[in-house]
């Protein structure tokens, strides 16, 4: 694995999941694997789970960890090529990445969608600069269109919770929110579920279809109750409109996941990447129920990160 920015960087998903579950059994089995090497964790946006799980994963492997909360602590970055930097921006992203190359053996970066210019987001305008200028492997800690470490943790969690001898029905359901949110988690979950042995369904209101590039041949149902029928796993997530980019077309029906809606399912396990808006996206009763595997999912972020760091260390050692 040279870089890790999407499911396409994985050769064999089932073997990566198996490896992650082995690491989970004994996370400290290789405490010196990253000895003498440094990973830079660069956050252009807020984080709780990604920051802390990545730090734990790196420490478990003996890596030195540099965490840069760039939005708060670094110089104001310029992202446009050829910019005349006589305004508020102080350091060009190219220069920042060249300097990170001097300090780090692996660079991991979080760079959300700006949600202002669809073309910039679809083309991963920031992540692409890291991929262009980095001279060391690059790991996405969530980019404009994908959240691959989250999706790997989601695959690990589904695998741990499915013992029956048939394909589980996995439903990704849109949920309400108070402000526009990027499509990265939904896109990424769809992309990874298409590589899993599951019956995958996406349900969202009209006007909220994800980018066809990520939906591919997945079933899309605009009636939530119909989609939830007999589900074994429900993944709850909001996203704003892709078609009317970053807008929030009005939705008349109530899409919040409640216990009443869970009755339609096969006693489904409930997932969410967190952070979650309780009683907006899903109800307290669902969040705190035995059906929720949301905290297990958060714990698995450690093992998804550790597996990817370990694979990349194999490549550069």
Q: What residue numbers does the annotated binding site for carbamoyl phosphate cover?
A: 47-50, 75, 110, 147-150, 273-274, 301
Considering the complex, state which of residue 47 and residue 307 has its C-beta at the smaller distance from ligand CP.
47
Considering the complex, state which of residue 145 and residue 150 has its C-beta at the smaller distance from ligand CP.
150
Least CB distance from residue 233 to ligand CP, whole Å? 17
Least CB distance from residue 141 to ligand CP, whole Å? 8
Least CB distance from residue 311 to ligand CP, whole Å? 20
Considering the complex, state which of residue 26 and residue 72 has its C-beta at the smaller distance from ligand CP.
72
Nearest to 171 by CA among 147, 190, 157: 190
Considering the complex, state which of residue 37 and residue 49 has its C-beta at the smaller distance from ligand CP.
49
Least CB distance from residue 186 to ligand CP, whole Å? 13
Least CB distance from residue 185 to ligand CP, whole Å? 7
Neighbouring-strand partners of residue 64: 38
Considering the complex, state which of residue 273 and residue 293 has its C-beta at the smaller distance from ligand CP.
273
Return residues touching ligand CP (CB under 6 A).
47-50, 142, 150, 273-275
The residue of the chain with the least Cβ separation from ligand CP equals: 50
Least CB distance from residue 192 to ligand CP, whole Å? 14
Considering the complex, state which of residue 53 and residue 265 has its C-beta at the smaller distance from ligand CP.
53
Annotation: binding site for N(2)-succinyl-L-ornithine: 142, 177, 237, 277
């Amino acid at each position: 694995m040279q870089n890790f920015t999407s499911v396409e960087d994985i050769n064999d998903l089932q073997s990566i999941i198996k490896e992650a579950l082995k690491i989970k059994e004994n996370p400290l089995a290789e405490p010196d694997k990253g000895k003498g090497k440094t990973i830079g964790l660069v956050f252009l946006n807020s984080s709780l789970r990604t920051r802390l799980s990545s730090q734990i994963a790196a420490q478990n492997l003996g890596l030195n960890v540099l965490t840069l909360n760039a939005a708060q602590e670094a110089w104001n970055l310029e992202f446009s090529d050829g910019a005349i930097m006589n305004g508020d921006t102080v350091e060009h992203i190219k220069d920042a990445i060249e300097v990170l190359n001097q300090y780090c053996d692996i660079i991991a970066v979080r760079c959300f969608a700006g949600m202002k210019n669809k073309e910039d987001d679809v083309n991963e305008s920031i992540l692409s600069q890291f991929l262009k200028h980095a001279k060391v492997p690059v790991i996405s800690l969530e980019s404009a269109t994908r959240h691959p470490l989250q999706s790997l943790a989601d695959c690990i969690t589904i695998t741990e919770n499915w013992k029956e001898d048939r394909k589980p029905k996995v439903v990704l359901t849109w949920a309400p929110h108070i402000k526009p949110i990027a499509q990265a988690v939904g896109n990424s979950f769809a992309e990874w579920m298409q590589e899993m042995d599951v019956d995958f369904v996406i349900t969202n209101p009209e006007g909220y279809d994800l980018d066809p590039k990520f939906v591919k041949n997945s079933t899309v149902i605009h009636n939530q109750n119909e989609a939830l029928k007999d589900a074994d796993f429900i993944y709850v997530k909001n996203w704003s409109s892709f078609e009317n980019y970053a807008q929030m077309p009005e939705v008349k029906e109530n899409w919040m996941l409640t216990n009443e809606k869970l009755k339609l399912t096969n006693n489904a396990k409930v997932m969410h990447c967190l952070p979650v808006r309780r009683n907006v996206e899903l109800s307290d009763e669902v969040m705190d129920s035995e059906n929720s595997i949301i905290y297990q999912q958060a714990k698995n972020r450690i093992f998804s990160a550790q597996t990817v760091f370990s694979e990349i260390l194999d490549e550069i050692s």
